[in-house]
Structure 1
Amino acid sequence: MTDGPNHGFDTMLVHAGTEPDPATGAVQVPIYQSTSFAFRDAEHAAKLFNLEEVGFIYSRLTNPTVWALQNRMAALEGGAGAVACSSGHAAQLMALFPLMAPGRNVVVSTRLYGGSITQFSQTIKRFGWSATFVDFDDTDAVAAACDDDTRAIFCESIANPGGYITDLPAIAAIADAQGVPLIVDNTSATPYLCRPIEHGATLVVNSTTKYLTGNGTVTGGVIVDSGTFDWMASDKFPSLSQPEPAYHGLVFAEALGPMAFTFHGIAVGLRDLGMTMNPQGAHYTLLGIETLSLRMARHVENAEKVAGWLEGNEHVDAVTYAGLESSPYHHRMATICPKGAGGLFTIALKGGYDACVKFVDSLELFTHVANLGDTRSLVIHPASTTHRQLSPEQLEAAGAPANVVRLSIGIEDPKDLIADLEQALAAAH
């Protein structure tokens, strides 16, 4: 089975992009632990290298196990194709690579994971790129931040760490007016809760490390291309719309149509940057995806119960969970995330930084790690860990000031989670 349009989401989780192994009949996708793949003959090899035929050459480019994951993710996100790579951060860089050039910029949301803020504010400068950070709730400011050098707009569907829901159709309209792609990080939502392409996104990136794999075993990332952007509409994207010297003048957009971005990501991006997903990692993620709906439904159910309890606790100043009716983002659930607001949010504690540290150290069931989206409930104090490289102003803009703790609610018994939170809050105050 591939990505049959008549199949439901839960069916695609198990079957999309895969079929029993033709050599052995194996039902699960085998781990093709091989660096390279034999050619039938010289002509076959030449066609593969000229992009005239689809197949496997070398695992830095493509691998059958990774290919299966790419096909499944394209189906789940409703895209034309996908490129898997070594991490979520790699996926973000790979998404920008065909679009950017020295002197070009990307307009990004202030509400991003701390590592992403550093990647955009510091690391991409080494390529001669720049980022303009804007509060994406202010759509006029987003539009005003775009200029002739803007090549993309970037945001998260459900922002980490605060769980804020972005108005994707409004941002997509701005991207369309500017003639640039909207890139959406869908890690916190997954395609179970949100399908950004249906709201106008051109590209979707996911850290497969998180909810998609769901068990904290492997890192990975994936970019899904909608296949709908017209790369030939302007001269802004020469990597896709102009002849590629390394492929004898092939124009990706002309030759490959809706698959242009995907094949550029493989044939140029992975070829030259080498941020490859390993086949064992792809295998673990494929296994995790099979239970995504079951797990995400429980994450949401538990998060709603826990957030509701925390909102009434005397030691808690605020809870950012969009699933609460008190949240200013609650109204966006109906259109952006109709199945729920996810399992990630923050709480602001009375007592500030010191109370947060004591609270984290007092938890027994929650695991203190720099991760999210595990079956286990996780906790971290962003200001002292994942976001510590940011200034106080950046911390405030990102939703991670010093008095805030991030919770990733797992699939345990919610009564046990609440009991653990209750004793830790009492110990911290």
Structure 2
Amino acid sequence: MSDTPLGFDTLQIHAGSAPDPATGARQTPIYQSTAFAFRDADHAAKLFNLQEVGYIYSRLTNPTVAVLQERIATLEGGAGAVCCSSGHAAQIMALFPLMAPGRNVVASTRLYGGTLTQFSQTIKRFGWEAKFVDFDDTDAVAAAIDDDTRAVFCETIANPGGVVTDLDTISAVTKAAGVPLIVDNTTATPYLCRPFDHGASLVVHSTTKYLTGNGTVTGGCVVDSGTFDWSASDKFPSLSAPEPAYHGMKFHETFGALAFTFHGIAVGLRDLGMTMNPQAAHYTLMGIETLSLRMQRHVENAEEIANWLETDPRVESVGWAGLASSPYKDRVARICPKGAGALFTVALKGGYEACVKTVDGLKIFSHVANLGDARSLIIHPASTTHRQLTEDQQVAAGAAPNVVRLSIGIEDAADLIADLDQAMA
């Protein structure tokens, strides 16, 4: 690699990888192995004692997964990354070193329905609490942070509504409070937004979505900016205090900017076991090679389709933040200058029934519980992804009963418009 900073398009192909030293293979091999041989007993001891970096067992580290981790961290501008089995796993992995019974996370009301359920229900079993706040109300976010808050969580481009979060403002609040800002960057990807440039401390991804881009495998990733001072207070003992499992070693003192990453592997993957398999990492690496090209087409198609929908008499409103009429238009220029993404909602005047009929009438759009595919996708959140929520919670999340969510693919935009037109008819 050159010492001159490389462009995004180059890094998405080359970061973290090199020809295989044993065979010369140019594509990253799939190291389909559970375990890796040690050179000798001393080598094994150093690996287990975190004195040397290497491969032990694929629950912890794997060479294929390691390339993906470095590539995503590089594209995000982070210090390190840990890949895992899904986006939901990544969220737990991100919170795990920070939380403890009685602690809370302040979270946006505009989140993916599965995240809302994970935060409002499942994490209670760990003794954790989530406090949901409208992140457009900065004062409310600041007021929700208390002595037991250990993180603030939001999405760059909210799923399903397409709302762009003002990361600059929210990060200022979290810095004043001395807690990390965790940003789910799944719907934006590092091509449209790098949350670390706007003050975030940690980034999570569902690599299942745009990073892979072809709907083949699930995966997740936690990326560390390397900039948060875990030792500035006693709030984060997992990172700042002696770790009994490693003879009293202090992760932040020992690993500095890579403290969170090393903890995620040495403790998180070791004990939670949310491992990404090497074949999934391989598929995602291949997907990332075309990320910028796909995202450009996703955004171009989204713009054309959103503008068409906004003028259609059967449509009540369109949630794409890039529209001239959107209240979030100014944020797009600042937070996502390359475009407002390709995920947004459409409210239909015919209500719930019109949504169901539209979904059932489409021929090119696929009715699936996924997003970020090269194919265009549609779902009715109120009856699926956000079904577990009350109607008030659905409305707050941007998933009211009269709303469908579109994930615009990279097909011909004219064909997609014709498909929507005939289905709504």
Identify the TM-score tier after normalising by the shorter chain.
Answer: over 0.9
AA of the residue aligned to 1:341: A
CA deviation vs aligned residue, 1:316-336 (integer Å, no higher than 9, x gap): 000000110101111101110
- Find runs of 4+ consecutive structure 1 residues off by over 4 angstroms: none
For residue 399 of structure 1, give the secondary structure of its aligned residue in structure 2.
Answer: coil
For residue 389 of structure 1, give the secondary structure of its aligned residue in structure 2.
Answer: coil
Q: 1:325 matched to which residue of 2?
A: 324
For residue 83 of structure 1, give the secondary structure of its aligned residue in structure 2.
Answer: strand
Tell me how far apart the structure 2 counterparts of residues 19 and 122 of structure 1 sit (CA, whole Å): 44
Q: 2:195 matched to which residue of 1?
A: 196
Tell me how far apart the structure 2 counterparts of residues 247 and 28 of structure 1 sit (CA, whole Å): 36
Write the mapping of 1:30-429 to structure 2, written as runs, cut at 5 A: 30-426=29-425
Tell me how far apart the structure 2 counterparts of residues 255 and 130 of structure 1 sit (CA, whole Å): 30
For residue 236 of structure 1, give the secondary structure of its aligned residue in structure 2.
Answer: coil
AA of the residue aligned to 1:272: D
For residue 345 of structure 2, give the secondary structure of its aligned residue in structure 1.
Answer: strand
CA deviation vs aligned residue, 1:337-394 (integer Å, no higher than 9, x gap): 0000000000000111111000100011100000000000000000000100001111
Tell me how far apart the structure 2 counterparts of residues 165 and 119 of structure 1 sit (CA, whole Å): 22
Tell me how far apart the structure 2 counterparts of residues 338 and 5 of structure 1 sit (CA, whole Å): 24
AA of the residue aligned to 2:250: V
Tell me how far apart the structure 1 counterparts of residues 198 and 330 of structure 2 sit (CA, whole Å): 16
Tell me how far apart the structure 2 counterparts of residues 201 and 330 of structure 1 sit (CA, whole Å): 21
AA of the residue aligned to 1:212: L
CA deviation vs aligned residue, 1:76-127 (integer Å, no higher than 9, x gap): 0000000000000000000000000000000000000000000000000000
For residue 306 of structure 1, report the CA deviation from its aligned partner: 0.3
Tell me how far apart the structure 2 counterparts of residues 191 and 348 of structure 1 sit (CA, whole Å): 28
AA of the residue aligned to 2:55: F
Tell me how far apart the structure 2 counterparts of residues 367 and 412 of structure 1 sit (CA, whole Å): 12
Q: 1:16 matched to which residue of 2?
A: 15
AA of the residue aligned to 2:150: R
For residue 143 of structure 1, give the secondary structure of its aligned residue in structure 2.
Answer: helix
Tell me how far apart the structure 2 counterparts of residues 63 and 244 of structure 1 sit (CA, whole Å): 24
CA deviation vs aligned residue, 1:184-239 (integer Å, no higher than 9, x gap): 00000000000000000000001000000000000000000000000000000000
Tell me how far apart the structure 2 counterparts of residues 394 and 46 of structure 1 sit (CA, whole Å): 51
For residue 31 of structure 1, report the CA deviation from its aligned partner: 0.1
Tell me how far apart the structure 2 counterparts of residues 355 and 62 of structure 1 sit (CA, whole Å): 49
Tell me how far apart the structure 2 counterparts of residues 90 and 316 of structure 1 sit (CA, whole Å): 36
Tell me how far apart the structure 2 counterparts of residues 278 and 394 of structure 1 sit (CA, whole Å): 35
Tell me how far apart the structure 1 counterparts of residues 273 and 71 of structure 2 sit (CA, whole Å): 22
CA deviation vs aligned residue, 1:255-293 (integer Å, no higher than 9, x gap): 000000000000000000000000000000000000000
Tell me how far apart the structure 2 counterparts of residues 174 and 43 of structure 1 sit (CA, whole Å): 47
For residue 5 of structure 1, report the CA deviation from its aligned partner: 6.2
Tell me how far apart the structure 2 counterparts of residues 330 and 390 of structure 1 sit (CA, whole Å): 28
Tell me how far apart the structure 2 counterparts of residues 13 and 241 of structure 1 sit (CA, whole Å): 33
For residue 209 of structure 1, give the secondary structure of its aligned residue in structure 2.
Answer: coil
For residue 256 of structure 2, give the secondary structure of its aligned residue in structure 1.
Answer: helix
AA of the residue aligned to 1:230: D
For residue 247 of structure 1, report the CA deviation from its aligned partner: 0.3
Task: Give 5+ residue unaligned stretches, structure 1.
Answer: none
Tell me how far apart the structure 1 counterparts of residues 174 and 269 of structure 2 sit (CA, whole Å): 26
CA deviation vs aligned residue, 1:372-423 (integer Å, no higher than 9, x gap): 0000000000000010000111101100000000000000000000000000
Tell me how far apart the structure 2 counterparts of residues 7 and 61 of structure 1 sit (CA, whole Å): 30
For residue 161 of structure 1, give the secondary structure of its aligned residue in structure 2.
Answer: coil
For residue 142 of structure 1, give the secondary structure of its aligned residue in structure 2.
Answer: helix
For residue 348 of structure 1, give the secondary structure of its aligned residue in structure 2.
Answer: strand
For residue 17 of structure 1, report the CA deviation from its aligned partner: 0.8
Tell me how far apart the structure 2 counterparts of residues 27 and 71 of structure 1 sit (CA, whole Å): 17
For residue 153 of structure 1, give the secondary structure of its aligned residue in structure 2.
Answer: strand
Query: How many residue pairs get matched?
Result: 425
Tell me how far apart the structure 2 counterparts of residues 393 and 64 of structure 1 sit (CA, whole Å): 46
AA of the residue aligned to 1:77: E
Please, what TM-score do these two structures have when normalized by structure 2?
Answer: 0.99
For residue 229 of structure 2, give the secondary structure of its aligned residue in structure 1.
Answer: coil
Give me the identity figure in percent: 77
For residue 10 of structure 1, report the CA deviation from its aligned partner: 0.7
CA deviation vs aligned residue, 1:118-171 (integer Å, no higher than 9, x gap): 000000000000000000000000000000000000000000001100000100
Tell me how far apart the structure 2 counterparts of residues 44 and 287 of structure 1 sit (CA, whole Å): 33
AA of the residue aligned to 1:190: T
Please, what TM-score do these two structures have when normalized by structure 1?
Answer: 0.98
RMSD: 0.7
